[in-house]
């Protein structure tokens, strides 16, 4: 076993580039492990856990780059380091030569007509960059998370005072004038406008609408915390204002987890005055509570799931199209087929999600149908898991949650942690099935289904050696027009005996049906 570490001082590359390079070095040099990372405190923990901690790594500073490989021989390790060095040097040289600006200010000197800054720097620097962009009169899409709540408020107040949109922090998705910002799917233009405090919530709604032939005018992300009491829905209200005034928008969808009560009140009051139909999708909120807040229904409509939101939109616009969802009888049948292959002790669902809102929606449904479900985003202390806890009972994990992404890229970009977790869950004899989301579109992996299949094969072989079948249910959030192509990705998974659902809600229904069937069989 040969471990080689190279430190390149004061050389910065973004986390995605480094991840892509790591993957390439691993694949092309035949080493067991290759990690390229900035030597931040969190990354050092990861290096230590991977057996790559050396004195040099320990001494390295946060702006030093670490290249670490583990190989079966010195020769292989050396070759890997050489490849990494070559790639890094090429990259650094290329960028220097092409007058690429290094700051927002120098970029503005080159492009004074710029009107939007898309910012995805590490959280601790993000407020600073966003403030600068707003001061310079640009709208901002702030992808970065791990930004303080107080900063979010002052930035949003600044934005509002200048008539600018601050989408974020923690805004994964927007689609403006048909252009996908952050992670977004290839969808057509059309009459539906969306303002959403959840990236994958927006993605799921847009892809389901696309499936029904319905297009998007604008989809404005607000960031996950916009509807908290302290922020007061600043960006959602501005988004609503834009859609109300937009002649292309015939129907407005507002999607979020349930807002703070007084924020909900303000938002619903504005929505009621929109002068066009508004569909409210506050996941998990009860319609009665919401209409109580407005005092009347006016042109407000309500949907409790992302799937129902898309279906209601189609119905309200009178398009007459629907989704190819499975009937209850078919769900029973598919669940039955899966359940008969399980051992009696296999009783639990383990859900691993890249999409936070998809995880949240499934959590609500599973809790309602099955009782206790543990999660890192659970509302109650007895169901709450931290990122170092193992799963127990039914467990759904949002692997994009801040705790999992400090110093690492989001699971939609870097699938490593999730793949590791799949193997961990597969080793648990009480696990009946895995519930997973696969997200397609701009920014997503080029072929996530194939990558997932590699890990599932390993996971299932392991379970098989111990006499167990492992069920897998996947929801794919994507369209035919995405480069990964929805139907091709579905086919890859179906060939591997994976149940592929049309929507996140349907995947949850399938999972619940399996558990209920096994429970009945056990009785």
Partner 1 sequence: MPDTPTVELPQQLQVINIGLELFAETLREQQQTVLHVRWEPPAQGDPELLGMLDALL
Q: Does 247 bind partner 1 (CB under 8 A)?
A: no
**Interacting residue with partner 1 among 49, 55, 97, 177 (CB under 8 A):** 177
Question: How far is 498 from 491, CA to CA, in rounded Å?
Answer: 10
- Three-state secondary structure readout of 102-163: CCHHHHHHHCCCCCEEEECCCHHHHHHHHHHHHHCCCEEEECCCCCCHHHHHHHHHHHHHCC
CB of residue 24 to partner 1, shortest distance in Å: 15
Q: Which of 3, 6, 46, 121 is the binder for partner 1 (CB under 8 A)? A: 121
Say how many residues touch partner 1, by CB under 8 A.
Answer: 59
As a whole number of angstroms, the distance between CA 54 and CA 437 comes to 37
Let me know: does 436 contact 519? Beta carbons within 8 Å: no
> Out of 25, 35, 37, 181, which residue is the one contacting partner 1 (CB under 8 A)?
181
Binding string to partner 1 for residues 205 to 244, with x set by CB under 8 A, is what? -------------x-------------------x--xx--
Task: Return the structure tokens found at 521.
Answer: 């069989």
Out of 50, 85, 89, 103, name the contact with partner 1 by CB under 8 A.
103
Q: Which is nearer to partner 1, 128 or 457 (CB)?
A: 128
H or E element: which one contains 336?
helix 328-339
CB of 142 to partner 1, least distance (A): 10
Shortest Cβ 231–partner 1 spacing (Å): 15
Is there a contact between 313 and 254 (Cβ–Cβ < 8 Å)? no
* Plot region of 493 (φ>0 → left; ψ -120 to 50 → alpha; else → beta): alpha
Question: Quick one: 270 or 378, whose CB is closer to partner 1?
Answer: 270
Rounded to a whole number of angstroms, the minimum distance from the CB of residue 84 to partner 1 is 18
| Helix (H), strand (E), coil (C) string for 369-429 | HHCCCEECCCCCHHHECCCCCCCCCCEEEECCCHHHHCCCCCCCCCCHHHHHHHHHHHCCC
By CB under 8 A, tell whether 104 contacts partner 1. yes
From residue 417 to residue 446, the character string flagging contacts with partner 1 as x (rule: CB under 8 A) and all else as - is -------------------------xx---
The whole-angstrom separation of Cα 280 and Cα 55 is 55
What Rg, from alpha-carbon coordinates, does the chain have?
Answer: 24
Per rule CB under 8 A, is residue 119 in the interface with partner 1?
yes
Binding site for partner 1 (CB under 8 A): 10, 12, 14-17, 61-63, 95, 100-104, 106-108, 110-111, 113-122, 125, 128-129, 133, 138-139, 143-144, 160-165, 176-177, 179-182, 218, 238, 241-242, 245, 413, 442-443, 483
């Amino acid at each position: 076993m040969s471990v080689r570490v190279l430190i390149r001082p004061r050389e910065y590359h973004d986390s995605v580039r480094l991840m892509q390079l790591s993957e390439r070095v691993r694949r092309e040099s035949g080493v067991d492990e290759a990690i390229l990372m900035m030597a931040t405190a969190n990354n050092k923990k990861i290096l230590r856990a991977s057996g790559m901690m050396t004195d040099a790594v320990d001494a390295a500073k946060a702006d030093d780059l670490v290249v670490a490989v583990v190989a079966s021989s010195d020769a292989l390790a050396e070759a890997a380091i050489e490849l990494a060095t070559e790639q890094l040097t090429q990259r650094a040289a290329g960028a220097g030569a092409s007058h690429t600006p290094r700051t927002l200010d120098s970029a503005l000197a080159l492009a004074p007509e710029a009107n939007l800054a898309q910012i995805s720097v590490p959280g601790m620097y993000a407020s600073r960059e966003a403030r600068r962009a707003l001061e310079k009169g640009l709208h901002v899409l702030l992808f970065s998370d791990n930004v303080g709540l107080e900063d979010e408020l002052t930035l949003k107040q600044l934005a509002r005072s200048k008539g600018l949109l601050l989408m974020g922090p923690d805004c994964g998705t927007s689609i403006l004038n048909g252009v996908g910002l952050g992670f977004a799917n290839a969808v057509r233009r059309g009459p539906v406008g969306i303002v959403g405090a959840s990236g994958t919530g927006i993605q799921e709604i847009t892809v389901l609408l696309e499936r029904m032939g319905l297009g998007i005018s604008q989809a404005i992300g607000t960031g996950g915390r916009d509807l908290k009491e302290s922020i007061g829905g600043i960006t959602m209200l501005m988004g609503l204002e834009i859609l109300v005034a937009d002649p292309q928008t015939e129907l407005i969808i507002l999607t979020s987890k349930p807002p703070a009560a007084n924020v909900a009140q303000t938002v619903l009051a504005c929505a009621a005055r929109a002068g066009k139909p508004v569909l409210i999708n506050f996941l998990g909120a009860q319609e009665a509570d919401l209409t109580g807040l407005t005092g009347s229904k006016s042109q407000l409509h309500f949907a409790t799931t992302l799937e129902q939101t898309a279906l209601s939109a189609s119905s309200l616009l009178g398009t007459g199209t629907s989704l190819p969802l499975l009937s209850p009888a078919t769900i029973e049948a598919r669940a039955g087929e899966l359940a008969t292959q399980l051992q009696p002790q296999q009783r639990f669902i383990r859900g691993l999600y890249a999409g936070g809102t998809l995880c949240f929606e499934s959590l609500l449904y599973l809790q309602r149908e099955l009782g206790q479900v543990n999660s890192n985003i659970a509302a109650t202390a007895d169901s709450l898991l931290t990122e170092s806890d193992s799963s127990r009972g039914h467990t759904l994990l949002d692997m994009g949650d801040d705790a999992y992404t400090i110093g690492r890229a989001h699971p939609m970009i870097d699938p490593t942690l999730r793949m590791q977790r799949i193997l961990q869950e597969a080793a648990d004899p009480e696990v009946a099935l895995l519930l997973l989301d696969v997200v397609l579109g701009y920014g997503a992996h080029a072929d996530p289904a194939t990558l997932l299949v590699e890990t599932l094969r390993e996971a299932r072989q392991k379970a098989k050696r111990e006499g167990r079948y492992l069920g897998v249910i996947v929801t794919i959030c994507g369209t035919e027009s995405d480069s990964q192509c929805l139907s091709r990705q579905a086919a890859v998974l179906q060939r591997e005996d994976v149940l592929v659902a049309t929507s996140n809600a349907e995947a949850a229904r399938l999972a619940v049906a399996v558990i209920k069937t096994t429970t009945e069989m056990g009785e």
